[in-house]
Structure 1
Amino acid sequence: MSKLISAVGLTLDTAYQNISDQEMSQLIEMAITKGAFQKRDSLFAGKNINQSENRAALHPALRNVSGDAMLVDGVDVMPLVKGVWQRIEGFCNQLIGITDVICLGIGGSDWGPRLVCDALHQINPQDGKAIRLHFVANVDSAELATALSKAQPRSTRVIITSKTFTTLETIRNAQTVINWLKANQVSASQVKKCLIGVTANPTAAEEFGIAPENIYPFWDWVGGRFSVWSAVGFPIAIKYGFKTFKEFLSGAHAMDQHFVSAPAAENMPLILALTLIHNQQKHQITAKAIVPYAHALRFLPEWLQQLEMESHGKSVTNDGSSCDPTSPVVFGSAGSNSQHSYFQMLHQGNQIIPVDFIAIKEPMSDLPEAKEHHQSLIANCLAQAQALANGSKEEFAYDSCPGGRPSNLIWVDRLDAYHLGALLALYEHRALCLGAIWNLNSFDQPGVELGKKLAKPIQSALKGDNPTLDGIDSITASRIKWLNT
């Protein structure tokens, strides 16, 4: 069985996983038995695979550049998707006079566009328009203050992205930005004009004060961490043009087609998922590192942390039984920086932690020395994978490296919007396969919702509106009292 799988300008090399052909055949049989391809087919058919919320998860429709019908509850959603594309393109053709766009969102409403916009800027800054993008997610006022200090209020647009339009951090930040605009003599009518809402709850956005013509919808069948392909990706189109945004969608769509049509042994998302399952079975791994040897992909590990751990950070299956193991801890950062932080643990630590190395075949700048820099970068990437796999035996035991540390290598032909879209879609579909194998719902996050629920009475108490501290346990209550003294 080949250790190399190529599709959509990406190549997955699993040679250092040390998985025999027989083992891989057994893994594939297990995945099919557990319904990985059945879950895939249900995804593309628009079935309610988000069981707990009783709705579909049809994010592939958002990048379906073929325009072929895709159904939810028997209704083709592509006219809705195309309508949003047309509105985004129209907006991008009318950007004269805009200097700054403040992008407010958190989680899935932030990481996707932040990652893509940063990656495209790092690859070729001159490709983007002169408009400055300011991403703000944290409710910590320091992040927002930094963005506001750089923006020009009279030529700023504000994109407020929230699926429900009730997200505490995003709405608090939005209210402060509105106050900032007014404090800088922007009239009420001008404020209304500059606010843009991206949401699956247009009614709430309108009640907040967003003009209906400035509301760009997505839908309840779009999970937040799978939403960068929707109007959530609006900042990408604003900064780099609608054509580039469409190229991003096209790369993801091409990976969709590969996932749907490739046989199991050549199906890149499935095989990538099965390397993790193999490492759980063989090495009982509890963590996984994502290391892109590309500064432009520095935010990829954070995006993947949400995709992996919010989707599968669970211990109870769809049928209510316990499940162990599920998602490992996901961490990572850009190589070669990462070699000088946690790679010591990867080589000699007690835990075996598999790595996904991601490398770009072409240099990523136009500096005269770019080729030499890139050769050094790739040499480091290949050397680390080799060292992890083979180890070394030295005179003193503390100098020796045990080896036997598995890794994947994902080659990307070149880093641009198209291949970035394909890479993100690859990991999305890998997550779907893992969810099927573990029998988990990859599209809900009840643990996240619990924290949001508990924050409300605490915030009221901190404001003095909940003096009896209802809904707050004794330890948290004592902490609130300490803060208020």
Structure 2
Amino acid sequence: MALSRDEAWEKVALHPDPTLEELFADDCDRVDKLATRLELGGDMPGILFDWSKTHLTDEILADFEALARASDFAEMRAKMFAGEVVNPTEGRAAEHSALRGVGKDSSVEEAEALRERMRLLVNALHEGAFGEIKHLIHVGIGGSALGPDLAVDALARDLPLVDVHVVSNIDGVALEEAFEACDPQTTFVAVASKTFTTIETMTNAQSALKWLADNGVSDASGRVIALTAAPEKAVEWGVDETRILPFAESVGGRYSLWSSIGFPVAVAVGWEDFQAMLDGAAAFDQHFRDTDGRDNLPLRAAFADLLYARIKGAQTRAVFAYDERLRLLPDYLQQLEMESNGKSVTVDGKPSGPTAPITWGGVGTDAQHAVFQLLHQGTHLVPIDFIASIEPGDTLDAAHHTILLMNCFAQGAALMAGKSSDDPHRNYPGNRPSATILCDDIDAATFGALIAFHEHRTFANAVLMDINPFDQFGVELGKEIAKKIEKGGERFDASTEALLKAAGVG
């Protein structure tokens, strides 16, 4: 007899709690069971996903698989790939995978047509159709900036075809920094906004246009490319329709890197690498779509996430990239995971129980000298993901990369094993979980696969928790109050009123 969702959760919570060292001692095949290498296919590198240093066991995995069945995971996954509504509060599909060629046929065809339009514009820019272009200032915020910033930083370090600067903060210091690095005579501006009404983005865009005009660019608006799901708004704002790159309304901002929002990535690295990024993500889409149970890597990761967040009470999850090219990945994952799954009610509007932990992290080895004290000897349970690459991203002495990898692997081993001491100040309790994602290399295909893995992991978590990962109403209230302040005529709490008076605002 099939279990209900509540019954499945109860079974997951009833397991004994052996230490990680005991789990390894009791099962000599543990690494083979929980460390899986995924080949992306063709000439693309592979990735090893090692979840053996977590508290997952055969029995817990079996009960999580029962929870997945009780949660209609396979059905929800099929609905997403079929382009059906999986965002019920907004009545929308979530078709980011279709942008990579995996999804409903008509959506894939539409995405291919829009991508070809973008390819022609990218190639025209590279071939000098707009004159000599050396710089691109990409203006966006949230998903319109975090993904492009991460991808450009990761993939365009070696002589980018065009120097790209991503600006998201409304603080003018950020935009001025980009101005200082660019020559207005050889600069284009990309304005990325799904609605083309986002106040931070449009204010920055207007200031960028003024900077171009003030510095002798006669047709400043002719230097603008719009990336949006509302092309009519871009036309109203003054962008010529030949320089508008649309994307579908069914693509959420934090899932939009694969759409025209990825324009700055293609401009920086070239179309071939941008396509390779899509291909790597598509390979992971196919794995996620076609693999069931614990062998499905994003689902397995979600099992571990929920074991710690829901059963063991972990309130945070840390991500440490032992690769400078991925230094912005924790920032990107913060939005992906916390904006998606930072909810408190189920799809039906009922209290949900614990949902997304706080995602945070940093770069190894820097983080070892900053936050690892707490991870080894503090009082918080913090499951950790380590991400590293076998191939280095530099051409220096091999000792650099060897030391980097040794530190990465040593931290996972030390967190698990600990070290007993009669001196309580030098005692390490151990039994602290971690997972390791080891890439053959950080190239465009691997990067795409990594991002797709985390997108699907986020979706799998949401389905098991019965929440909607595709709306984000929580970001709206502060914006509404800011508009009320701008409009004037309303009173707020005494503290806010005092702050507005002190700053001379409103």
TM-score by length of 1: 0.93
Question: Bigger shift: 305-314 or 315-324?
Answer: 315-324
Distance in 1, matches of 2:286 and 2:228, equals 28
Instruction: Specify which structure has the bigger relative contact order, considering alpha-carbon pairs within 8 angstroms and separated by 6 or more residues.
Output: 1
Tell me what 2:10 maps to.
Answer: none
Distance in 2, matches of 1:280 and 1:148, equals 43
Where in structure 2 are the equivalents of 1:60-459 lying within 5 Å? 60-64=97-101, 70=104, 76-94=106-124, 95=126, 96=128, 97-122=132-157, 125-126=158-159, 128-129=160-161, 131-187=162-218, 190-367=219-396, 369=397, 371-459=398-486
Q: How far does residue 455 in structure 1 lie from its aligned partner after superposition?
A: 1.3
2:117 is the alignment partner of 1:44: no
Q: How far does residue 10 in structure 1 lie from its aligned partner after superposition?
A: 1.5
Q: How far does residue 69 in structure 1 lie from its aligned partner after superposition?
A: 6.6
String of CA shifts for 1:326-380, please: whole Å, max 9, x gaps.
010110011111111111000011111000111111222222x1x2211111110
Do 2:318 and 2:360's aligned partners in 1 also have CA atoms closer than 8 Å? yes
AA paired with 1:428? E
Q: How far does residue 477 in structure 1 lie from its aligned partner after superposition?
A: 2.7
Q: How far does residue 441 in structure 1 lie from its aligned partner after superposition?
A: 0.7
Sequence identity (%): 38
Q: How far does residue 205 in structure 1 lie from its aligned partner after superposition?
A: 0.9
SS at match of 1:197: strand
Where in structure 2 are the equivalents of 1:455-474 lying within 5 Å? 455-460=482-487, 466=488, 468=489, 470=490, 472-474=492-494
AA paired with 2:104? M
Question: Bigger shift: 32-41 or 396-405?
Answer: 32-41
AA paired with 2:237? F
AA paired with 1:82? E
Tell me what 2:66 maps to.
Answer: 29
Q: How far does residue 458 in structure 1 lie from its aligned partner after superposition?
A: 1.5
Name stretches of at least 5 consecutive residues in structure 1 with no aligned partner.
461-465
Do 2:310 and 2:355's aligned partners in 1 also have CA atoms closer than 8 Å? no
Tell me what 1:463 maps to.
Answer: none
Distance in 1, matches of 2:156 and 2:407, equals 24
AA paired with 1:46? G
Name stretches of at least 5 consecutive residues in structure 2 with no aligned partner.
1-29, 41-45
AA paired with 2:72? G
Q: How far does residue 481 in structure 1 lie from its aligned partner after superposition?
A: 2.2
Compute the RMSD of aligned alpha carbons: 1.5
Distance in 1, matches of 2:72 and 2:410, equals 37
String of CA shifts for 1:415-437, please: whole Å, max 9, x gaps.
10000000000000000000101
Q: How far does residue 172 in structure 1 lie from its aligned partner after superposition?
A: 0.5
Do 1:50 and 1:56's aligned partners in 2 also have CA atoms closer than 8 Å? yes
AA paired with 1:477? E
Q: How far does residue 474 in structure 1 lie from its aligned partner after superposition?
A: 4.4
Distance in 1, matches of 2:209 and 2:70, equals 54
Q: How far does residue 473 in structure 1 lie from its aligned partner after superposition?
A: 4.2
Aligned residue-pair number: 463
Distance in 2, matches of 1:415 and 1:199, equals 29
SS at match of 1:134: strand
SS at match of 2:437: strand
Q: How far does residue 230 in structure 1 lie from its aligned partner after superposition?
A: 0.3
Do 2:310 and 2:354's aligned partners in 1 also have CA atoms closer than 8 Å? no
SS at match of 2:363: coil
Q: How far does residue 77 in structure 1 lie from its aligned partner after superposition?
A: 2.0
Gap change, CA 1:86 and 1:311, over 3 Å in 2: same
Distance in 2, matches of 1:328 and 1:47, equals 28
Do 2:277 and 2:447's aligned partners in 1 also have CA atoms closer than 8 Å? yes
Do 1:457 and 1:471's aligned partners in 2 also have CA atoms closer than 8 Å? no
Distance in 1, matches of 2:319 and 2:239, equals 39
Deviating 4+ runs (over 6 angstroms): none
